Each structure stands twice: as structure tokens, then as C-alpha cells.
Chains A and B, each alone.
Chain A
Amino acid sequence: MVDYISRLMPALLAGLDTTLSVFFLTLVFSIPLGILVALGQLSNIKPLVAVMKFYIWVMRGTPLLLQIVFIFFGLPIIGITFDRYPTAILAFVLNYAAYFGEIFRGGIESIDKGQYDAAKVLGFTPVKTYQRIILPQMIKIVLPSVANEVITLVKDTALVYVVGLGELLRAGKIASNRDASLVPLILVGIIYLVLTAVLTTAFQKLEDRYSYYQ
């Protein structure tokens, strides 16, 4: 058994490689985009707010799987074509930015309006107010929700199978089919659990760091 597991690991780790790269790239792009989406919704520009609301409705209102399929197979019909990997990243980033946007917006809105007044009389510009006063406070507020989304993202990465990309779960399925055994899938489950444990611990540490004030 141990021998079998060690023979399985290279393929599983190769799949994990894809899982992790989709995971990190999605976070790197969707979190900043999410902040912009949140700010856009809070701005005074009515058309911008309407666009944001529509975008969030579409992204949260359709399955991520469908979005990936749409970008990869649907967009080429109107001439916009993406390769498999960029499709996956694009779909994930757009989807998760919508969720993060709502989380961040909720966090920002829960901040006392007096903070903006105080910043204004001290001479802060809107940009500086967000940079120094609002966003730092928002972080503490949204950490638990963000942790939730991030942990969900780890498992959502399995959806890239639909454009033929091989990630961890698919690697497990391949081995399981090939060897008619459940062991690969059990291993895959363990790897996901380990990833989740690492993330949970990391976010707990982050929350601890932000517990210096209330």
C-alpha cells in the first residue's frame, strides 16, 4: 500500500500544482478587483453603481462552472477567444471578485460614518481616507468572511476540469479509474484537508494579529 501511495503521489502532486496556481492567481487578482467593485458600488456615479450591481448579480447568479464554459465556448462566437488556462483564471477572478466585492462593501458600510467626518476635518482626501482609515478597519471586519471564501476557492479549483485542465481531483479520478481503487480519492481528500487546515490556521493567526483593538 505504501508503495502504491508513493507511486500515486507524483501525478497527484502535479495536479496539486495546477490547483495551487489557480488558487493563488485567483486571489492575487480578485481581491484588488473586489476592493474596486466595493468602492464602485459606494461611489456617487450612478451608472457605475448600476454596472457593478449588474455584474454582481450575473456573477453570483450563475454557477461558476457555467461561467467557465461560457467564456471558453461561448465568447469565441463573438470573436473573443481565450486559451484554457487564461479562461479558468478569468472566470475565477471575475466570479470571486464579485463575492469579495460584496464582502468588502458590507465591511466598509459597517464602519461608523463619523470616521469619514473626522478624516475630513483633519484634511484627509478621499483617497487617503480610504487608504489610512477605512480600508485598514475594513480588514478586521471582513476577515472571517474572506477566510470562508478563500477556503471555498480551494475546492472550486476542481471546476477547471471542464476546460480539460488537470488539477488535483481529476488526477485522483484518473488514478481511481485506471486502478479501479478508491485509494487515490482518499489521498486527494486528505490533501484537501491539509490545505484547508493550513489556511484555517493562517487566517486564525491573521485574526489574532488584528485583535489588538476592538
Chain B
Amino acid sequence: MVLEVQGLSKNFAGKPVLKDVSFNLNQGEILAILGRSGAGKTTILRCINNLTKCDRGTIKVDDMYLCREENGVTVYAKPAEMLEIRKKLGMVFQNFNLFPHMSVMQNIIEAPINVFGVPKQKAQEKAAELLEMLGLSDKANAYPFELSGGQKQRVAIARACALNPLVMCMDEPTSALDPELREGIATIIENLARDGMGVLIITHDMNFARRVATRIIFLDDGQIIQESSKEEFFANMGDERIRRFVAM
């Protein structure tokens, strides 16, 4: 298991957004968390990546605890440990959040060099590899504003992959793309999984989930309604809410 989430709970302004969410992710798996907007999907991603602190819960990345519930109190990892955990986590945002003042190459090597002390040469080589893999080698010196939406997404993926993470998180990977580009991103995600990463996708795009996921979790109102393999999920939609969602 590369990611273990247990008993994750979060309230915003008194309202519960996540209620006791638990799930796991394995190497090579593509897990899609499906649900309507506002179901709490993005909050899960933000908690896993420590962009938001959860109220209660245990999150374990590989063999390290990002946060752990002990005696009713949730204890977070210390900064040094957190940094190690960040190496194992990659995050691709819905609107990519590329650094506009840096070139594609600079975007990818910035964290490795300035945060993790990777030698510039090595970082550049790895970046070149990633760009090659993603078909962007000729864009290495371009700036984000010169790129199309699909290209920006691939740069965001490359940037997230620069430190060889075990878990790749993606927030609504198809929302910013034209439909014909969906197949391309699906292939990329499958390649990442084949290379050994566990991929966690948040999406409300049911068709995309059907295309790319190996396992699906349905989240509604902060709770997991169903968790099963893709085939099983679409064959057997037990809950009324899922049926309504799929019908939309």
C-alpha cells in the first residue's frame, strides 16, 4: 500500500465536510473518487497533501505517517518528516498552478534543486526525460502562457513527477480539457500506473472514470457510499444516489 487513509474527518465552519472517510491505494492502481461537486472530494486531496489540516484521522504515505490519531488527538508529522513525505506525493491541480515567471524546464527543476538539494545537472536530466515521455521536449524553454491547456497539464504532471513520487494525486484532470484530449491524458495516467505509481484521481467525469480507473469510490455528502472495482461499480449500482449521478 502506498497510501492509507483512516477515519478522515473535517468540518468547515461547524459543518461536517468529511465524515470518517477510509480507503487505501496500492502501487499500480488507479483509484477514482467520484461524486457531485461539494461532496468533499477536493477536501480529501487537500488533506492528503497537507494543504488543509484534518480534524481527525490517520494518513499514511508509504511507511510514514503524515498524521496519526493517537488517544483522540491527531498528531502531524514534524517538518523534517513532512519534507520526506512530500517527495513521495505528487499533486496535479485542476488549474495546474504552473509558475508563470519560469520556463517549463525551470518549473520542473525548481523544487528538486531549491528544496531537495538535487544537483542541477541531475535535475535537468530527469526533467528532460519526463518532457520526452510526455512529448514536450521542444517546449523546454517555453513559458506557461505560450502553452495550450493540454500542454500545461503535461508540464504540471512532469513537475509533480520530478522527484519520483509513489502517489500521484490529480484534481479533476479533465475539467480544463477539450474532449478530444481526454484520451491522451488517460494514456498518460495509465503509463504512470504502469511505472509503479499509485494514482488517485478526483473527478465528477463519470465517463473518464470508466475509461481510466481500476477502482472507484463514490463519495456523497462527505461519506463513502460505495467502493469497488470499476467493473463491479458500473455493473452493480446499488445506491439510489449513484444511479442518479450516473444518469446525469
A, B in one complex? yes
A124 / chain B contacts, CB cutoff of 8 Å: 111, 114-115
**Chain B positions 149-163 with a Cβ under 8 Å from a chain A Cβ:** 159-160
Q: Which of B49, B87, B114 has the most CB of A within 10 A?
A: B114
**B100-113 near A? 1/0 per residue, CB < 8 Å:** 11000000001100
Kindly report which residue of chain B lies nearest to residue A124, judged by CB atoms: B115
B89 / chain A contacts, CB cutoff of 8 Å: 121
Instruction: Say if the beta carbon of A109 comes within 8 Å of chain B.
Output: no
Q: How many A-B residue pairs have CB under 8 A?
A: 58
Kindly report which residue of chain A lies nearest to residue B90, judged by CB atoms: A121
Instruction: Say if the beta carbon of A140 comes within 8 Å of chain B.
Output: yes
Instruction: Say if the beta carbon of B37 comes within 8 Å of chain A.
Output: no
B100 / chain A contacts, CB cutoff of 8 Å: 137, 213-214
Chain A nearest CB, measured from B192 CB (Å): 17
Q: Is the CB of B110 within 8 A of A213?
A: no
Instruction: Say if the beta carbon of A136 comes within 8 Å of chain B.
Output: yes
**Chain A positions 101-116 with a Cβ under 8 Å from a chain B Cβ:** 112, 114-115
Instruction: Say if the beta carbon of B40 comes within 8 Å of chain A.
Output: no
Instruction: Say if the beta carbon of B99 comes within 8 Å of chain A.
Output: yes
Contact of A118 among B93, B115, B116, B143 (CB under 8 A): B93
**Chain A positions 179-214 with a Cβ under 8 Å from a chain B Cβ:** 212-214
A121 / chain B contacts, CB cutoff of 8 Å: 49-51, 86, 89-91, 160
Kindly report which residue of chain B lies nearest to residue A133, judged by CB atoms: B99
Within the assembled complex, what's the spacing in Å between the Cα atoms of A133 and B49? 19
Q: A118-B99, A121-B91, A133-B99 are in contact. Are A128 and B114 (CB under 8 A)?
A: yes
Within the assembled complex, what's the spacing in Å between the Cα atoms of A206 and B229? 57
Within the assembled complex, what's the spacing in Å between the Cα atoms of A117 and B95? 11
Q: Is the CB of A132 within 8 A of B110?
A: yes
Kindly report which residue of chain A lies nearest to residue B49, judged by CB atoms: A121
Q: Is the CB of B101 within 8 A of A122?
A: no
Q: Is the CB of A123 within 8 A of B99?
A: no
**A78-117 near B? 1/0 per residue, CB < 8 Å:** 0000000000000000000000000000000000101101
Instruction: Say if the beta carbon of B222 comes within 8 Å of chain A.
Output: no
Within the assembled complex, what's the spacing in Å between the Cα atoms of A102 and B83? 34
Interface size class of A (residues with CB under 8 A): 10 to 19
**Chain B positions 109-132 with a Cβ under 8 Å from a chain A Cβ:** 110-111, 114-116
A128 / chain B contacts, CB cutoff of 8 Å: 114-115
Chain B nearest CB, measured from A120 CB (Å): 6
Kindly report which residue of chain B lies nearest to residue A131, judged by CB atoms: B114
**B22-59 near A? 1/0 per residue, CB < 8 Å:** 00000000000000000000000000011100000000
Instruction: Say if the beta carbon of B144 comes within 8 Å of chain A.
Output: yes
Within the assembled complex, what's the spacing in Å between the Cα atoms of A128 and B145? 23
Contact of A123 among B86, B97, B98 (CB under 8 A): B86
Q: Is the CB of A123 within 8 A of B145?
A: no
**A127-149 near B? 1/0 per residue, CB < 8 Å:** 01000110011001000000000
Q: A115-B97, A121-B86 are in contact. Are A132 and B91 (CB under 8 A)?
A: no
Contact of A115 among B91, B99, B145 (CB under 8 A): B99
Q: Is the CB of A117 within 8 A of B115?
A: no
Q: Is the CB of B111 within 8 A of A213?
A: no
Within the assembled complex, what's the spacing in Å between the Cα atoms of A120 and B46? 11
Chain B nearest CB, measured from A135 CB (Å): 10
B95 / chain A contacts, CB cutoff of 8 Å: 114
Within the assembled complex, what's the spacing in Å between the Cα atoms of A118 and B169? 12
Contact of B93 among A114, A133, A212 (CB under 8 A): A114
List A residues at the B interface (Cβ < 8 Å).
112, 114-115, 117-118, 120-124, 128, 132-133, 136-137, 140, 212-214
Q: List 11 A-B contacts (CB under 8 A).
A: A114-B95, A115-B99, A117-B51, A118-B99, A123-B87, A124-B111, A124-B114, A132-B110, A213-B144, A214-B100, A214-B143
Given contacts A120-B51, A123-B86, A214-B143, 17 further A-B contacts (CB under 8 A): A112-B97, A114-B97, A115-B97, A118-B99, A120-B49, A121-B91, A122-B86, A122-B115, A123-B83, A123-B115, A123-B116, A124-B115, A132-B110, A136-B101, A137-B99, A140-B101, A213-B145
- Top 6 A-B residue pairs of the complex, sorted by shortest distance between their CB atoms: A118-B97, A122-B111, A114-B97, A123-B115, A121-B91, A123-B86
